[in-house]
Every structure is written in structure tokens, then in C-alpha cells.
Structure 1
Amino acid sequence: MSTPDPSTEDELKALEELGYEEARDQLAEVVRALESGGSALAESLTLWQRGEKLAQVCQARLDGARALVESARADDATTG
């Protein structure tokens, strides 16, 4: 497998800074672009990588929110 383009790696790294809603919206755009089927193979692979990263960002944000809710419930249960 070839080494990813450094600029693509930087772009994927920058996605980690997105909030949930922005990452979700961008992921929806990637899915639409991939489903349209009008992209060359190289562009489709780049879109796929971006989509994978955006999905990871969304999942991380959801996991973080879930942990906060569970922590708040646990704190409430011990003090309530």
C-alpha cells in the first residue's frame, strides 16, 4: 500500500478538532459524494478516508457525551 499524501494526513488530523455537528454534516456530504459515483478512483479513496475519519470523530464525541451522562448519573446516585 502506498504512503498517504502528507497534505491529506494533515487534513485528516485537522478533522479531530471538529465538533460533532460539523463532523456529522461533513460526513453526510462525503456519503452523498461517494453515492453519486461520479468521482475518479483516487478521489473516491480520498473521500473514503475522510469519511472514515469523520465517523471516528463523531463516535468519539458521542462516546464523550455518553461518559459525561453516565458520570452525572453515578454522581447523582451517590449523592441522592
Structure 2
Amino acid sequence: MSERIIPATEPDPYADFSAALRDEFSKIHPASTVTRCIEAAHYGALEVVGHAHPALVERIARKHLEVLALVASERG
């Protein structure tokens, strides 16, 4: 079972860009990969800068997804 990034009682601050990233990368990555990249970006931002502002998390997650797409294209 996966942990939630935020408590269920609070709105998801990443909802808007999560949907956009899932749509943008839908032909390359499954939705679960996008979710994992967002979660990794969230925790990475917390560790490095002490906060996980949505704009920062989106930038980090997008870079992760772009690198994964590049690796996939080089293998295929």
C-alpha cells in the first residue's frame, strides 16, 4: 500500500499539474510512473530545501519524466 503525500482531509496541492503531467506523458509513461515521480520529487524537495512548493515539485517531476523518456527512447 502506498503512503499518501498529504492527509486525506487537505486538498491535493499537486492535483492540477499531476493531471497535466499524466496527460503530457501518457504515450510514454503509465500514470503510476508519473505518480511515483511526483512523490519522489515531493520527498526530494523536502529533503533538499525543506519545503515542497507545487511549482518546485512539478519542475523536478517533469525532469524525472523527461530523463526516463530519454532512456526509454535510447533503449527502444
Tell me which interval the TM-score lies in, with the shorter structure as reference length.
0.3 to 0.5
Larger radius of gyration: 1
| TM-score of the superposed pair, with normalisation by structure 1 | 0.39
| TM-score of the superposed pair, with normalisation by structure 2 | 0.41
- Where relative contact order (Cα < 8 A, 6+ residues apart) is larger, the structure is 1
Structure having the higher helix fraction is: 1
